Amino acid sequence: MVRRACFLLLGLVLSVVLAACALFPVKYPEYRALLSEGKTAVGKTVFRDARVFTAVDGTVLEHQDVWVSGSTIEELVPTDPSRTAEVEIDARGKTLMPGLVDMHVHTTATSWPPWYLAMPDTKHTLEAFLYSGITTVNDLGGALDEVGTLRNEVADGKRQGPRIFFAGPIITARGGYPASLISEYGVLAQAAVTDKICTQVTTPREATEAVLRRVSGGATIIKIVVADIPSGAPRLTEETIAAVVKEAHAHGLKVAAHIDDASDALLCAKLGVDLLAHGVITSALTPEEAKTLAAAKIVMVPTMVNYERFAQIAQKRYTPLQLTIDTEPKASLEQFAPKYVDAAVLTPGFFKWGDEIEAHVKTRPVNVKTALEAGVQIAVGSDAMGSVGTFAPDIHHELELLVAAGMPNADALMGATSRAAKVLMDKPHFGTIEVGKSADLLLVDGDPLTDISATQKLVVVMARGKTVQRNLPK
Residues in contact with Zn ion by the rule CB under 5 A: 383, 386
Q: What are phi and psi of 304, to 5 degrees?
A: -65, -30
- Residue 25 has a CB neighbour count (10 Å cut-off) of 6
Closer by beta carbon to Zn ion, 107 or else 135: 107
Closer by beta carbon to Zn ion, 96 or else 236: 236
Which residues face 44 on adjacent strands? 69
CA distance 186 to 17: 10
User: How crowded is the C-beta side of 107, counted as CA atoms within 13 Å?
Assistant: 31
Which residues face 254 on adjacent strands? 221
Q: How far is the CB of 433 from Zn ion (least distance, A)?
A: 29
Q: How far is the CB of 376 from Zn ion (least distance, A)?
A: 20
Give 439's contacts (C-beta < 8 A, 6+ positions apart): 68, 71, 72, 73, 462, 464, 465
Q: How far is the CB of 277 from Zn ion (least distance, A)?
A: 6
Closer by beta carbon to Zn ion, 148 or else 386: 386
Q: What are phi and psi of 137, to 5 degrees?
A: -135, 155
Q: Are 211 and 244 in contact (CB under 8 A)?
A: yes
CA dihedral 185→189→190→196, nearest 10 degrees, is -130
Closer by beta carbon to Zn ion, 292 or else 306: 306
Q: How far is the CB of 391 from Zn ion (least distance, A)?
A: 14
- The torsion region of residue 3 among left (phi > 0), alpha (psi -120 to 50) and beta comes to alpha
Closer by beta carbon to Zn ion, 326 or else 394: 394
Q: How far is the CB of 140 from Zn ion (least distance, A)?
A: 5
State how beta strands 458-463 and 441-445 pair. Answer: antiparallel
Q: How far is the CB of 370 from Zn ion (least distance, A)?
A: 23
Give 104's contacts (C-beta < 8 A, 6+ positions apart): 138, 140, 277, 278, 301, 303, 381, 382, 383, 384, 386
Q: How far is the CB of 397 from Zn ion (least distance, A)?
A: 16
Closer by beta carbon to Zn ion, 108 or else 417: 108
Q: How far is the CB of 105 from Zn ion (least distance, A)?
A: 8
Closer by beta carbon to Zn ion, 102 or else 289: 102
Q: How far is the CB of 313 from Zn ion (least distance, A)?
A: 17
Buried-state track 141-180, b at ≥16 Cβ within 10 A, e below 16: bbbbebbbebbebbeeeeebbbbbbbbbbbbbbeebbbbb
Q: Are 398 and 382 in contact (CB under 8 A)?
A: yes
CA distance 399 to 410: 11
- With CB atoms as reference, the residue minimizing the distance to Zn ion is 386
Taking the mean position of all CA atoms in its chain, how far away is CA 257?
Answer: 14
Q: How far is the CB of 382 from Zn ion (least distance, A)?
A: 9
Closer by beta carbon to Zn ion, 197 or else 449: 197
Q: Are 133 and 443 in contact (CB under 8 A)?
A: no
Residue 450 has what DSSP assignment?
T
Q: Are 304 and 415 in contact (CB under 8 A)?
A: no
Closer by beta carbon to Zn ion, 374 or else 384: 384
Q: Which long-range contacts (CB under 8 A, 24 or more apart) does 13-18 make?
A: 13/178, 13/181, 13/182, 13/193, 13/197, 14/114, 15/109, 15/110, 15/112, 15/118, 15/119, 15/120, 16/109, 16/120, 16/193, 16/196, 16/197, 17/182, 17/185, 17/189, 17/192, 17/193, 18/114, 18/117
Closer by beta carbon to Zn ion, 76 or else 134: 134
Closer by beta carbon to Zn ion, 167 or else 433: 167
Closer by beta carbon to Zn ion, 120 or else 386: 386
CA distance 460 to 472: 12
Closer by beta carbon to Zn ion, 204 or else 386: 386
Q: How far is the CB of 292 from Zn ion (least distance, A)?
A: 24
